[in-house]
């Protein structure tokens, strides 16, 4: 407990899913959490649940595709609390589904990059001057995706945008590390949340579970615990890293699930 005591943390996209898990764990560890997103009522529910449990949180409306709302989020946070210690770039429009290269329109490509790549870039750009001030430093945590680990049959634009987040992480870590600013990236695997549980078909769950190394799917708290580590002083010597929190899904040969079904360890 208190691993993030007295730290001010912005968690974008924290009105649902993984973002809620991160925000609640941050508050449990002593941070003052800025919950933000487009859905005011849902955001206030998150804040209320944190404060009722004895944590510190406040809500600020933000649209990840609107630069002016991002600027206001950052300026209001600094005006109210004096500084920003942690930024978690979690917001992304996961509702945007795309497909193969020949199926994608320019508008769909641009929309996905606007929410998933440009948003991460611009929130970081706005926060950096405040972390650089007086060499106070801070920790920036980008939420990527296991989609950037390899090619797939669809989700081309999404995977490319998240691959951009991977490289952006390394650029920020290199360019501002000497100013006591760290930047790391977490790639979630299949994370089952209250919002998506009913929407994920059993067939897809079974495919993932047969390839995951552990005996369950991921939950928002799995990503939250990794974010606590990267936000705390425990990771003071860790920067520019990309960690895949996926139950070991991407750590093995692609034939493992099929060989298990055969009761064999090799051909």
What confidence tens digit (pLDDT) does each residue in 7-53 have?
999 999 999 999 999 999 999 999 999 999 999 999 999 999 999 99
DSSP strand pairing (32-37 vs 86-89): unpaired
* H helices, E strands: number in the chain: 9, 7
pLDDT in tens, 99-113: 899 999 999 999 999
Region 139-157: mean pLDDT is 92
Predicted local confidence at residue 84, as pLDDT: 98
Question: Does the pLDDT of residue 96 top 70, yes or no?
Answer: no
Q: In which element (H, E) is residue 242 found?
A: strand 242-245
φ and ψ at residue 186, rounded to 5 degrees = -115, 125
pLDDT in tens, 200-248: 889 988 888 999 999 999 999 999 999 999 999 999 999 999 999 999 9
What percentage of the chain exceeds 90 in pLDDT? 79
Q: Nearest 5°: CA angle at 140, between 34 and 6?
A: 50
Task: Dihedral sign for Cα 186, 222, 63, 140, please.
Answer: negative
Q: What is the pTM of this model?
A: 0.94
Q: Residue 158 catalytic?
A: yes
Q: Per-residue confidence at 256, pLDDT binned at 50, 70, 90?
A: confident
Question: Does the pLDDT of residue 134 top 90, yes or no?
Answer: no
Domains and CATH numbers, the chain: 8-194+218-251 (3.40.50.720)
Choice among 174-178, 183-187, 192-196 with the minimum mean pLDDT: 192-196
Question: Does the pLDDT of residue 194 top 70, yes or no?
Answer: yes
Catalytic residue among 158, 217, 229, 237: 158
Enumerate the β-bridge partners of residue 188. 245
Q: Per-residue confidence at 95, pLDDT binned at 50, 70, 90?
A: low
Average pLDDT value over all residues in the chain: 93
Query: Bigger pLDDT: 238 or 256?
Result: 238
CA distances to 154, 223, 256 from 212, rounded to whole Å, are 21, 16, 10
Cα–Cα dist 61/34, whole Å? 10
Q: CB-based burial of residue 49 (10 Å sphere; 0-12 exposed, 13-18 middle, 19+ buried)?
A: middle
Question: Phi-psi bin for 39: left (phi > 0), alpha (psi -120 to 50), beta?
Answer: beta
Query: Bigger pLDDT: 97 or 250?
Result: 250
């Amino acid at each position: 407990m208190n691993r993030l005591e007295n730290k001010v943390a912005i968690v974008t996209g924290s009105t649902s899913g993984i973002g809620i898990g991160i925000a609640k764990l941050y508050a449990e560890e002593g941070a003052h959490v800025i919950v933000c997103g487009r859905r005011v009522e849902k955001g206030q529910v998150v804040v209320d649940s944190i404060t009722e449990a004895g944590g510190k949180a406040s809500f600020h409306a933000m649209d990840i595709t609107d630069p002016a709302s991002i600027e206001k989020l950052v300026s209001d946070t600094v005006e109210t609390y004096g500084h920003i210690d942690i930024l978690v770039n979690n917001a992304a429009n996961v509702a945007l589904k795309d497909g193969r290269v020949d199926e994608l329109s320019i508008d769909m490509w641009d929309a996905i990059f606007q929410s998933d790549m440009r948003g991460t870039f611009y929130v970081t750009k706005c926060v950096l001057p405040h972390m650089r001030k007086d060499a106070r430093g801070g920790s920036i945590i980008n939420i990527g995706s296991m989609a950037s680990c390899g090619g797939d049959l669809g989700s081309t634009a999404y995977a490319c945008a998240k691959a951009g987040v991977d490289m952006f992480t390394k650029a920020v870590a290199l360019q501002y590390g000497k100013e006591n600013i760290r930047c790391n990236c977490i790639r979630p695997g299949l994370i089952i949340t209250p919002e998506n549980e009913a929407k994920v078909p059993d067939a897809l769950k079974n495919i993932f579970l047969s390839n995951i190394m552990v005996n369950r799917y991921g939950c928002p708290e799995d990503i939250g615990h990794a974010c606590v580590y990267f936000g705390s002083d425990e990771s003071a010597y860790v920067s520019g890293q990309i960690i895949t929190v996926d139950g070991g899904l991407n750590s093995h040969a692609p034939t493992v699930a099929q060989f298990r079904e055969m009761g064999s360890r090799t051909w």
